[in-house]
Amino acid sequence: MIKKTERLAAVALLAFLSACSDNSDVDGDGTVSRTERAAEMRRDGYLAMQPGRWRMNFTFTDVEVPRLGEGEKANIKAELAKGASGLSCLSEQDAAKPGPDFFGGNGAEDCSYKQFDIAGNRVNMALVCGMGDLGKADMKLDGTIGDNDFQFDTDLMVHVPMAGKIKLKGTMTGKHEGECRGDE
């Protein structure tokens, strides 16, 4: 009887540990494809977001920039938050499987997921986005998502050719505001 109980406990432990592991990059190429993201969402019971107009806001609480004083850092936090915040229109198709450009914020382009893990409304993702001539950004988002809103703790590393690496921490929030108006 004890051996059977031990085997059941071992199987339960393995099932628990595998459920906690990062299983979104199935092919191991370092990027979570649209197909892999869709499978992760189906497997973990993702609640689709509402299509339409979304307002996203970034707030940065900490910034690390080499060779800058506190006043300059405060200006950078404010400018980056203002520049990344904005409106977005999420189509019906994208609401079921939001792409990385949606979460990248204004000014981000050519984003791709490096990690995408979801369990119910709990999301942990990592993105890399181009920023034109300004370089690229690596972003980690960890938080909750619902059909009408989301909130993530944000770790952002911006690689700027002239300034090097800029590290920021903060939050990203999003709120559904109804139908798209065409000015997003």
- pLDDT digit string (tens) for 17-30? 233 344 566 677 77
pTM above 0.85, yes or no: no
Q: Which residues contact 35 (CB under 8 A, 6 or more apart)?
A: none
Average pLDDT over residues 33-46: 60
pLDDT computed for residue 151 by the predictor: 96
Looking at every residue in the chain, the average pLDDT score rounds to: 76
Residue 143 has pLDDT above 90, yes or no: yes
The average pLDDT across 100-107 equals 72
pLDDT in tens, 56-94: 998 888 888 877 778 877 787 777 767 677 888 999 888
